[in-house]
């Protein structure tokens, strides 16, 4: 079975969010803060699951631009200067589908490391 394919991607600057619609009917409203702290970049993901970095202080980050990368991903340019990491369609779908669990895990990690969103 083919992976879901995006049919529409909109940057909602005033909401600081990215909206992604997929061909299976799923629509995800992904806040900039969430996308930033879950960036697929090596800076955040490290080089393996045990190396993932927990970023605090990203509550007010925004997405300044969305750049297409071939026909398989987008690069997000964030207001804090971060612009590495390619958000593939699979990554965006997973971040949308599993948002509640991923966000809960992130908030727990912040607490455990004595960090906060501000």
**Residue 72 maps to which CATH number?**
3.30.2020.30
Two tokens, residue 94: 């997973």
Residues 20, 83: Cα–Cα separation, whole Å? 19
Give me the phi and psi of 52, to 5 degrees please: -60, 135
Let me know: does 13 contact 4? Beta carbons within 8 Å: no
User: Domain for residue 81, yes or no?
Assistant: yes
For residue 39, the enclosing domain spans 32-112
User: Domain for residue 102, yes or no?
Assistant: yes
User: Domain for residue 57, yes or no?
Assistant: yes
The total domain count for the chain is 1
User: Domain for residue 14, yes or no?
Assistant: no
Q: Which residue has the tokens 């727990």?
A: 108
Two tokens, residue 32: 């900039």
- The predicted pLDDT at position 4 comes to 94
User: Domain for residue 88, yes or no?
Assistant: yes
Share of the chain above pLDDT 70, in %: 96
User: Domain for residue 61, yes or no?
Assistant: yes
How many alpha carbons lie under 13 Å from residue 28 in its C-beta half-sphere? 26
Q: What is the pLDDT along the chain (118 residues), one digit of tens a residue?
A: 678 999 999 999 999 999 999 999 999 999 999 999 999 987 888 766 567 899 999 999 999 999 999 999 999 999 999 999 899 999 999 999 999 999 999 999 999 999 999 9
User: Domain for residue 117, yes or no?
Assistant: no
User: Domain for residue 52, yes or no?
Assistant: yes
């Amino acid at each position: 079975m083919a992976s879901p394919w995006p049919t529409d991607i909109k940057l909602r600057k005033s909401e600081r969010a990215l909206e992604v619609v997929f061909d299976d009917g799923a629509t995800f409203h992904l806040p900039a803060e969430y996308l930033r702290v879950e960036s697929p970049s090596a800076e955040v993901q490290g080089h393996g699951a045990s190396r993932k970095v927990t970023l605090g202080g990203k509550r007010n980050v925004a997405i300044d631009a969305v750049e297409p990368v071939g026909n398989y991903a987008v690069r997000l340019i964030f207001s804090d200067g971060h612009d590495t990491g390619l958000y593939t369609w699979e990554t965006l779908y997973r971040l949308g589908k599993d948002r509640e669990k991923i966000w809960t895990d992130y908030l727990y990690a912040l607490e455990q490391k004595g960090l906060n969103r501000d």
